[in-house]
Amino acid sequence: MRKINEIFYSLQGEGAHTGTPAVFVRFSGCNLKCDFCDTLHESGIEMTDEAIIDEVCKYPCRMVILTGGEPGLWIDDALVDALHKAGKYVAIETNGTQVLPEAIDWVTCSPKEGTTLRIKHVDEVKVVYLGQDVSPYLLIEAKEHFLQPCSCQNTEEVIAYIKEHSQWRLSLQTHKLINID
């Protein structure tokens, strides 16, 4: 059983896959619980892998995004394999502090200050910018490095930072800007 906060169909609003139709499987609970997180960690229902797959397969897209909270607390090879057998492309949004199944197709890591990364592979780094020193995150080997304003509140500051540090790309929470889930 896995504790699921919600499963919904929308467009990916952030990072490299912005605009891509996806089913989001939002897990409850996190080992960090950042102030800006938009997940209600205490709410959710227990679901079997079969129930999760059944719900995911109701929607007409290939991409499934495991998010949270921290999905790394809940997922394993069995769930990822079941999603692949259902024909899904499996992406994850993680803080990177948990060991992940190796078969995940796309790993978005949103590292936090003071934590140790335990993941072996990262496709994109996405850092919520709050004015902190983000230069250590450029050392994480990844295809993309994104800085993201915090809930669309400090966009001008992030743009100015990126203009001075061109290794970064801007990630906006477009789902918030166009008012979709």
The catalytic residue positions are 24, 30, 34, 37-39, 93, 175
Tell me, what DSSP letter sits at residue 141?
Answer: -
Q: How far apart are alpha carbons 142 and 168 in whole angstroms?
A: 12
The count of C-alpha atoms lying within 13 angstroms of the C-alpha of 176, restricted to the half-sphere facing its C-beta, is 12
Reduced DSSP (H G I as helix, E B as strand, rest coil) percent helix, strand, coil of the chain, to 5: 25, 25, 50
Phi then psi for 162, rounded to 5 degrees?
-65, -35
Q: Please name the helix (run of DSSP H) or strand (run of DSSP E) that holds residue 129, with its range, or none.
A: strand 124-129
